Amino acid sequence: MAHLILASSSPRRKALLLQLGLDFDIHSPDVDESVYKHEQIDRYVLRLAQSKAQAVLSLYPQATVIAADTSLVFADQIIGKPASKQHAFEIWTLLSGQKHEVLTGVCVANAHQLLSTVVRTEVEFQALTLSDMEAYWATGEPLGKAGGYAIQGIAAKYVTRINGSYSNVVGLPLHETIQLLDRLDQCS
């Protein structure tokens, strides 16, 4: 495999790839993450993953690039990172006792080929009390996390079920990423 670059500064994505024993560098591209009017969410995460991969590949044309974009979706709306404690509580009130989806667009690319996919995972939360929310906010973990939670952290105790890829919810669906890398290697 050619020189591998992760097109992300996410510590979670880095940790997931390290878990697989991969040797890679990191280069986080500056890509406009605005959602286009009427853009479907699966198209949005796929477009961003592909844009990130192409941006890094333009700088390192001999490399193989892994790029991803993850969004949390509830009622067909992207739920971003909480901007404040009040915003986090609003998000958790929506997710409380409900199912939501985590979608990740994954793209692997080299100078010859670009392969991508979208992975969906359904996550169900228990009903959250105000006390649960206060206690979780006090941990500091919700800051900077889509949906205001980290499934690999303390928030795991609020998740009653997932249907799909756990690593997708963390930020990078490993099985699908490796499958794309294997296909890229076979075609190169």
Q: Which of 69, 132, 182, 185 is catalytic?
A: 69
H/E stretch holding 133: helix 130-139
Q: What is the DSSP string of 40-104?
A: -HHHHHHHHHHHHHHHHHHH-TTSEEEEEEEEEEETTEEE---SSHHHHHHHHHHHTT-EEEEEE
Residue 184 CA to its chain's centroid (Å): 21
Residue with tokens 């892994």: 66
Q: Using an 8 Å Cβ cutoff, are 151 and 169 in contact?
A: yes
User: Would you call 32 a catalytic residue per the annotation?
Assistant: no
Residue 79 CA to its chain's centroid (Å): 12
Q: Using an 8 Å Cβ cutoff, are 54 and 114 in contact?
A: yes
Q: Tell me the helix, strand and coil percentages in the chain, rounded to 5.
A: 40, 25, 35
**Residues with catalytic function:** 69
